[in-house]
Structures are given as C-alpha cells and as structure tokens.
Amino acid sequence: MDQNINNVPAIEQVSINKIFGIPAGAQEILIAGRTAPAPYTPAIDPYYKFEMGHLRDVIAWLKVGMGEGLFLTGPTGAGKSSLVLQVAARLNLEVFNVTAHERLEFSDLVGQFVVKNGNMEYQYGPLALAMKRGGVFLLDEIDALPPGTNVGLNGAAEGRVLVIPENGGEVIKPHPEFRFAATGNTRGSGDDTGRYSGTIKQNLAFLDRFWCLEVGYLSKQKEEAILESVLPVPEMKGLIPKFLEVAEEVRRLFQSSDFTTQINTTISTRSLIRWVRLTHVFLSMAKRGCQPVYYALDRAILNKAAPEEKAAVKEIVQRIFGISEPEK
C-alpha cells in the first residue's frame, strides 16, 4: 500500500445535489469531498443506481458521523459494499477495503514491520492509512471477525487516537474525515439459517458503536434501468421484465422464513447483469438447439448451486419465460 500521506488531494465542500442528481428544488447540502481522485479512490460504476433512502443515510453519516461507525446489514448480493464504494467514488474519497476472516488479527489492520531493501521498515495497514489519509475504512463480512480483533477496533470505531507500541509508541490522531464502515449478513447476532458458515456472534459493545443501515435489493425500476443501460439492444428489451420477475421470486424464496419453501440461492444485481449479458452472447446458439436463457443461467448463477437448488430456480424460469430447457 502507498504509505505517502502527502499525495492526497485537498478537501473541499461539494454539493451532493449536483453530484448525485438530486432535484434543484431540494435544499442544497454540502459535504466534504476531495478535489480529485486519490490513489485509493474507487472507480465510478456508470451503471450504478442509488436508492435515495440508502444514499441519504450514507451522506448523513459521512457528514456528521465522526466517532461513530456505519454497519450495513442485509442479504448477500444486496450491494452493501457497493453502496459505500460508489458514494465514495463520486466524492473522490479513498476507501481501504478489507474482508474479515477468522484469522484476521488487529496487527493486520494497523501495520507491521517488513523487510524492504534489506532493512526493517514499518508498513502501515489499511486502518492506520485510512486514519492518516482521511479515508473510509471498510470492513466487509464483519460477522466473521474474531472477538479479540473486534475489541481492538472499539477505539477506531469511536474515532479515538490509535497508538502503535510496535512503532515506538506512535500516536495517530484520526483525520477529521476518517470514517469506519462495516458490512455483514447477520446483523452481528450470529447465523441461525446455516447459510453463512464461519460467522460469529459479535460483541454487543462493539456493535453499539455503529449506526445500522439495512440494505435490501434494488427496486425493480432501478434494476430495469441498469439492465437497459448495460445492454441497450432491441432483441433483449422485451425479455428484461421476465429476468427481473425471476430475480424477484428467487430473492423472495431466499429471504423466506418458511423452511419448507426457502432456497439457499439468490440473484444479486451483479449476477443478474451477468445472466442477461450471457443470454445475449448465446442468442445465436438457439439455432443449434440450445436455449440461451438456460445456458446463460447455468454459467452466470446456477453452476455454483446444489442440484435441488438448480431445479427449483429452473422451475421458476420455465413458468415465467414459458420455455423449457432442452434435453441434454
């Protein structure tokens, strides 16, 4: 990671109305942003669509949330990380993104000594760099964080100074624009569904340091606009509502509390886009006895699913599209 904290563009007050296309009639709100992209600024996804309620909450947290984290919870594939990344991308803010796992230690986040050019040199980790550079520290899959590590993060979540004894007792005072965000599928309370193996019930005192934002799947209207932007071809336009209907029903079953109908496969916006794109790629195969919708579905989503899950989703596809999968 780039250790130079002098190559970060200056902070300026920018209008979220202009950046996020909020109507001019609404009250103009200014927020801190960078004058230009920085080394760790995420790339803008031009097809991304914001749910205004989610955007409002993230903007409010960035504006007044110094000393409090933001915990985004919701089903897998709902776009929790993407929400933070795409807001930051448009504000030119840096994001230091780490995925939690059972072996993640506090020192992995803060830093450690490494050998460089034959000498021992202290290398700052993503948390320390975010604090020094005024970026967003984004910890994905926080549900998998070991208890000892999350206790070490209490101070960072509150925006307190970070002391590094290993580096001569260095004290890092958080930059005013430093923010700590985390994502998780289980609200930090453990997994009672069996879907998220490796998740751990999180310390209540740690979770108390976060705002909590529940992120659901994008609305059908937003996803329709994305699909039409990604693949604006006439032969696909009439099929897009059917793709969306399949995704909606699969997600409903995925989130169902009825274990007799519940399935463990879902369709994220990302995989939905992949399915539609691949269907278009394989359209020419229809003349050779291949059904592009099913062929693309397997490669985009279902080849990762158990046989009974594949069968359940394909029954939905057959009903909604009105087409059968050819015999193999």
CATH number for the domain running over 220-321 = 1.10.8
Q: Express each pLDDT in 110-133 by its tens digit.
A: 999 988 888 889 999 999 999 999
Residues 84, 138: contact at Cβ < 8 Å? Answer: yes
Assess whether pLDDT exceeds 80 at residue 260: no
For the chain, which residues make up each domain, given as ranges?
11-214, 220-321
pLDDT reported for residue 101 = 86
pLDDT reported for residue 115 = 86
The whole-number average pLDDT for the span 21-31 is 82
Question: Lowest-pLDDT range, 158-167, 201-210, 306-315?
Answer: 201-210
pLDDT reported for residue 195 = 52
pLDDT reported for residue 129 = 96
| Closest alpha carbon to 215 in 51, 19, 80 | 80
The whole-number average pLDDT for the span 199-218 is 80
Predicted confidence band at 149 (pLDDT cuts at 50, 70, 90)?
Answer: confident
More confident residue, 315 or 257: 315
pLDDT reported for residue 201 = 65
What is the CATH architecture assignment of 11-214?
3-Layer(aba) Sandwich (3.40)
| 59 Cβ contact partners less than 8 Å away, ≥ 6 residues apart | 16, 20, 29, 31, 87
More confident residue, 260 or 106: 106
> What is the residue-averaged pLDDT of the chain?
89
DSSP assignment letter at 43: P
| 168 Cβ contact partners less than 8 Å away, ≥ 6 residues apart | none
Q: Specify the residue for token string 């897998």.
A: 76
CA distances from 202 to 36, 69, 145, 189, 191 (A): 37, 15, 8, 6, 11
Assess whether pLDDT exceeds 60 at residue 191: no
Residues 13, 32: contact at Cβ < 8 Å? Answer: yes
More confident residue, 96 or 288: 96
User: What proportion of the chain, given as a percentage, has pLDDT over 90?
Assistant: 64
Q: What is the 3-state secondary structure (H, E, C) of 139-164?
A: EECHHHCCHHHHHHCHHHHCCCCEEE
Residues 58, 23: contact at Cβ < 8 Å? Answer: no
Assess whether pLDDT exceeds 80 at residue 196: no
